[in-house]
Amino acid sequence: MNSYLSLEGIDMSFDTPRGKLEVLRSVDLRIQKGEYTSIIGHSGCGKSTVLNIVAGLLQATRGGVLLDNREVNSPAPDRAVVFQNHSLLPWLTVYDNVRLAVDKVFATDSAVRRHERTMEKLELVQMTHAREQYPSEVSGGMKQRVGIARALAMEPKVLLMDEPFGALDALTRAHLQDSVMEIHQRLGNTVIMITHDVDEAVLLSDRIVMMTNGPSATIGENLTVDLARPRNRLALAEDPRFHQYRAAVLRFLHARHGNPEAA
C-alpha cells in the first residue's frame, strides 16, 4: 500500500565550527493517513531535525519527503507545526490568532464562513469562552490549546507537534492529552508528535518510533500500539498491555540505548 507520508533515506548533516556533524543517517519512515505517530529518543538525537525536515524548514542532505505523492521542500499550511512554547501573537486576541491562520489559508471563503471555521476550531479545543482575551491573560495550557486550534484551522494534511505538552504541569498536560485524543478521534488527522514522555507516547499513539542515540541517529525500532480507541487513561492504567508497551519503550531507551548524558 502507498504511504500517505514517507521519509526516504534521509541523511542530515550540519556544518559546525568543529566540522561536519552528521545528525541523521538513513531515516526511513512510512506513515498512513490518520495515523498518530510519536517519535521518542534521548535528548539531542535528532527528533526536532526530523520534524523540521517534514515541515520543510530544513532540507535533508540526502533523501526526501513525500506527502500525498508530492515532494516536500518548503514550509506550507498542509504541514502545520505546534511548538512547545506557544508562539501566539501577543497583540492579537485568542480569536484573532486563530482567525489569522484561517484568513491566510481560506482567503477565498466568505467572511461568514471564515468566522465559522475560526469558531469551530476554538470549540474543538474548548476555548470559545476566552476568545476575546489576549495571550497574556490566559494560562499556559490555554495558550497551547489556541496554538493547536490555530494549527488545525489550516486543515493541514499533517499536524506536527514538537513536545506540545512539555512545558505544562501534570494535570494540565493530562487534560490537553485527552483533548488531543478526542480531536484525533473526531477529525482522523495524521499526526507526528515528539515527546520525552513514555506514558504519553503509549496513550496517544498508533505507533511509537524510537530513535537511536546520535550522532548519525536513525530509527531503532517501530512499536505498533494496538489498543482500541477511544482510550481512557484510567482504564489503561490497569491494562497489562499498556504496561507491556511502556516497558518495551523503556527497555529500548534505557537498556539498548542508554542516555549518554547519564553515563
Ligand X SMILES: Nc1ncnc2c1ncn2[C@@H]1O[C@H](COP(=O)(O)OP(=O)(O)OP(=O)(O)O)[C@@H](O)[C@H]1O
Q: Which residues contact ligand X by CB under 6 A?
A: 14, 16, 21, 23, 41, 43-49, 214
AA identity, residue 214: G
When the beta carbons of 242 and 252 are compared against ligand X, the nearer one is 252
In angstroms, give the least distance from the CB of 222 to ligand X.
17
Distance of CA 91 to the CA centre of its chain: 26
In angstroms, give the least distance from the CB of 124 to ligand X.
27
The helix or strand, by DSSP H or E, that contains position 48, with its residue range, turns out to be helix 47-55
Tell me which residue of 92, 100, 85, 90 sits closest to 150, measured CA to CA: 100
Question: Using CA atoms, how far apart are residues 77 and 107, in angstroms rounded to an integer?
Answer: 13
Find the Cα–Cα–Cα–Cα dihedral 47, 48, 54, 56, rounded to 10°. -150
In angstroms, give the least distance from the CB of 196 to ligand X.
6
In angstroms, give the least distance from the CB of 211 to ligand X.
7
Half-sphere exposure of 203 (CA within 13 A, CB side): 23
| Sheet with 70-71, edge to edge strand ranges | 19-31, 5-16, 62-67, 70-71
When the beta carbons of 238 and 261 are compared against ligand X, the nearer one is 261
When the beta carbons of 147 and 214 are compared against ligand X, the nearer one is 214
When the beta carbons of 57 and 236 are compared against ligand X, the nearer one is 57
Tell me which residue of 10, 149, 129 sits closest to 66, measured CA to CA: 10
When the beta carbons of 21 and 237 are compared against ligand X, the nearer one is 21
Other Cβ atoms closer than 10 A to 261: 9
When the beta carbons of 35 and 163 are compared against ligand X, the nearer one is 163
Place of cell 505517530: 37
When the beta carbons of 54 and 149 are compared against ligand X, the nearer one is 54
In angstroms, give the least distance from the CB of 55 to ligand X.
12
In angstroms, give the least distance from the CB of 166 to ligand X.
9
In angstroms, give the least distance from the CB of 210 to ligand X.
12
Question: Using CA atoms, how far apart are residues 181 and 184, in angstroms rounded to an integer?
Answer: 5
The three-class DSSP label of residue 158 is strand
